[in-house]
Structure 1
Amino acid sequence: MSAGPLDHRLTAPIRKDGAFATYLEVPGSVELLGTGRAVKVAGTLDGHPFEATLMPSGAGLHWLPIRAALTKTIGKATAGDLVDVLLTHRNS
């Protein structure tokens, strides 16, 4: 699948016990994106725009790293806090 629009919504808990300081798991991402490789995306987290690289977990899904500035903007940084995600565009 190449760059282009996406319309994928999910609600996921913040995780802090993995390869990234703060991240979300994106279930079904390999099927959605058609690859298990890293993919650049854009969208919103709790209504706030972001761009990031979905990183392959090695377990059939991708991780969405969340920068500290964005956790501050959305007011959520604790493991288990639920975040509403809308992936709107695949950039790579």
Structure 2
Amino acid sequence: MTPDPILDHTFTAPIGVDVKGEVWSCVEVPDARELFGSLRSVRVDATVDGVALPNVGLMPTGGGGLMLSLSAKVRKALGKDVGDTVTVHLTRPS
């Protein structure tokens, strides 16, 4: 069995993903298909503007991408909300 490739990916994106006409407090991962090889849910360790989110799931957007959900608690810790831009760093869960 081949081990998963190393994941060390950083991007900047706005909070807010349109899902079936509603804006969700998520960040869409650019080029998710190329990065993960599919658009199925995948677990990652994420850091958003320095706030660690260990072992979280990236979910399909329904529009051909993957997104990271940011709870109200996380958004409060970041001091950010829908429409604000964040920097996200993704790695494989330890």
Equivalenced residues, count? 90
TM-score (norm 1): 0.81
Structure 1 segments of 4 or more deviating over 3 A? 1-5
Flag structure 1 segments of 5+ consecutive residues without an equivalent: none
Percent identity between the two aligned chains: 40
In the alignment, what sits opposite 2:41?
38
Q: Compare relative contact order (CA 8 Å, sep 6+) and give the higher one, 1 or 2.
A: 1
Deviations 1:18-62 (A, max 9, x none): 367410111111111112110111120001100321111233210
Which of 60, 69, 73 matches 2:73? Answer: 69
Flag structure 2 segments of 5+ consecutive residues without an equivalent: none
RMSD, aligned α-carbons: 2.4
Instruction: Give the direction of change, closer, same or farther, for the CA distance of 1:33–1:90 in structure 2 (3 Å limit).
Output: farther
In the alignment, what sits opposite 1:87?
90
Structure number with bigger Rg: 2
TM-score (norm 2): 0.80
